[in-house]
Amino acid sequence: MTNSIDEFMSLCREKTPGEKEFHQAVCEVVESLMPHIDKNPRYKKHKILERVIIPERTLMFRVPWLDDAGDIQINTGYRIEMNSALGPYKGGLRFHPSVNLSILKFLAFEQVFKNSLTTLPMGGGKGGSDFDPKGKSDNEVMKFCQSFMTELCRHIGPNTDVPAGDIGVGGREIGYLFGQYKRIRNEFAGILTGKALNWGGSLIRPEATGYGATYFAQEMLKTKKDSIKGKTVTVSGSGNVAQYTVEKVTQLGGKVVTLSDSSGMIYDPEGIDKKKLSYVMDLKNVKRGRIKEYAEEYNVVYEAGKRPWDIKCNLAFPSATQNEISKQDAQSLVDNGCFCVAEGANMPTVPEGVEVFSDEKILYGPSKAANAGGVAVSGLEMSQNSLRLSWTREEVDQRLQHIMKSIHETCLKYGKENNYVNYVKGANIGGFVKVADAMIDQGLI
């Protein structure tokens, strides 16, 4: 078994040199899938694993734009159309200086299985640019988005590829991107999700990833006859996912004591209540300030350059970025009493950290299961656009809760090992089988 995993991975590395994040994501999936594939030779015969690691299409393009000083700026744009066996390509756009092909391929690969887990008809994709919206004026962000969409609009469409937001792409960016598509193509179409409510968006879409991760944690806790009520919770990040995780955890009776950004973290032992959260939302979404300002406002500890993983907690929701929990961080979480981790961010835990969680047998919900709520409500936004109807907040929230429960059940179905649930294995196999079966049905695609 180990031999076939090693062989597969060395071939993958040889064909995609230097793509370390992509290799990390593939390796994690292949480790859980190989035993299942060995028992199901038709997947081997149809070379599904060899096929799913190669995108159906990779687009890379130049994005020139003029800054406020009138100088020419140039970024690289990407869209990875990874797999369309289950539906149109679906997955976010990330604008961050760290963006490269490897990061977007890892995200697109994960997205394929995540979207499959949601039970909605969506393929997988991801895209973005090395553009950094931080420190740019609204005008510069608009100029960049217009140039980016001028190329991207040739490749997307409501039945082809429907991008959404991710790091650095929120409501403002989605608006500028949508406007430019409409202008060029002369059609008002559901080509992006995460749109504002008054022009085709869905209620609960902004909340979906954070709420979904919290619902998933709740399902995991239920297997231990426990709940979020009364728990001390650490959250990293302070963007979209982090903010709505804080909101839902607090509503369910938990106390969130940390937040962070790429400069440092704050620790508020009293808890981030409703009023403090609205301060954070204004700080991050309107003023576009730094989390350090929270510490000044509420007179709490700020630690520059630190992440929240050595703060004592019961539950942790990493919600910033990939590889933000090292092996030592994972050990420190467990040593400090954390017994449940639900990943709001994509692949936030390094493989050695995941090993710590599984060796210690804590409840560990990997990103492709725990953060699928975002894309699930994106799928619901697509349904509402097709129906030309808007569902109520309660209706969308009910559907989201139902989807998170069903993802949890899929994880139990494929991930139960004696009296422990291996959610990594459960999510990987549960996500894979639907995609693999559809690929076999559709012939050599």
> Distance from first CA to last CA of the chain, Å, rounded?
27
| C-alpha to C-alpha distance for 157 and 163, rounded to whole angstroms | 9
383 sits near ligand NDP (criterion: CB under 6 A): no
385 binds ligand NDP (CB under 6 A): no
Positive or negative, the Cα torsion across 309, 421, 226, 402?
positive
Question: Under DSSP, is residue 7 helix (H, G, I), strand (E, B) or coil?
Answer: helix
Distance, in Å, from the CA atom of 395 to the CA atom of 420, rounded to the nearest integer, reads: 33
Q: Contact with ligand NDP (CB under 6 A): which of 371, 385, 410, 428?
A: 371
**Binding ligand NDP by CB under 6 A: which of 34, 86, 203, 320?**
320
By CB under 6 A, tell whether 168 contacts ligand NDP.
Answer: yes
> 180 and 141 in contact (C-beta within 8 Å)?
no
319 near ligand NDP, rule: CB under 6 A:
yes
Q: For ligand NDP, give the closer residue by CB, 88 or 373.
A: 373
Applying CB under 6 A, which of residues 129, 314, 346, 422 lies at the interface with ligand NDP? 346
Token pair 């981030």 is at which residue? 272
Tokens linked to 426: 């459960």
Q: Give the range of 34-42, 48-56, 267-275, 319-327 binding ligand NDP by CB under 6 A.
A: 319-327
Q: How many residues bind ligand NDP (CB under 6 A)?
A: 23
Between 150 and 430, name the residue whose CB sits nearer to ligand NDP. 430
> How many residues are present in the chain?
445
Asked if 234 contacts 256 with a C-beta cutoff of 8 angstroms, the reply is yes
Cα dihedral sign, 92-93-98-100: positive
Closest by Cα among 151, 171, 136 to 66: 136
The CB-of-374 to ligand NDP minimum distance in angstroms stands at: 3
261 binds ligand NDP (CB under 6 A): yes
Only one of the segments 28-36, 315-323, 333-341, 407-415 lies at the binding site for ligand NDP (rule: CB under 6 A); that segment is 315-323
Residues within window 230-249 making contact with ligand NDP, judged by CB under 6 A: 237-242
Identify how many contiguous H helices and E strands the chain contains and give both numbers. 17, 15
Could you identify the residue written with the tokens 């031999």? Answer: 3
Q: Tell me the C-alpha distance between 125 and 364, whole Å.
A: 25
Question: According to the binding rule CB under 6 A, does residue 99 interact with ligand NDP?
Answer: no
Comparison of 240 and 331: residue with beta carbon closer to ligand NDP: 240
Nearest distance in Å: CB 344, ligand NDP: 5
Coil vs helix vs strand at 157: strand
Nearest CA to 185 out of 162, 151, 215 is that of 151
Which residues are within 8 A (CB) of 335 and not within 5 positions of it... i.e. 6 or more apart? none
344 is a contact residue toward ligand NDP (CB under 6 A) = yes
Alpha-carbon distance 112 to 22, whole Å? 13
- Count of Cβ atoms closer than 10 Å to residue 70 Cβ: 6
CB of 203 to ligand NDP, least distance (A): 15
In the complex, least distance from residue 367 CB atom to ligand NDP, rounded to whole angstroms: 7
Give CA angle at 30 (89, 27), nearest 5°: 90
Identified binder of ligand NDP from the candidate list 262, 326, 383, 390, rule CB under 6 A? 262
Shortest Cβ distance from residue 138 to ligand NDP (Å)?
A: 16
State the nearest-atom distance from the C-beta of 376 to ligand NDP, in Å: 10
165 binds ligand NDP (CB under 6 A): yes
Pick the closer one to ligand NDP by CB: 320 or 333. 320
The residues that are catalytic are 126
Using the rule CB under 6 A, which residue among 84, 115, 118, 209 binds ligand NDP? 209
Contacts to ligand NDP by CB under 6 A:
165-168, 170, 209, 237-242, 261-263, 319-321, 344-346, 371, 374
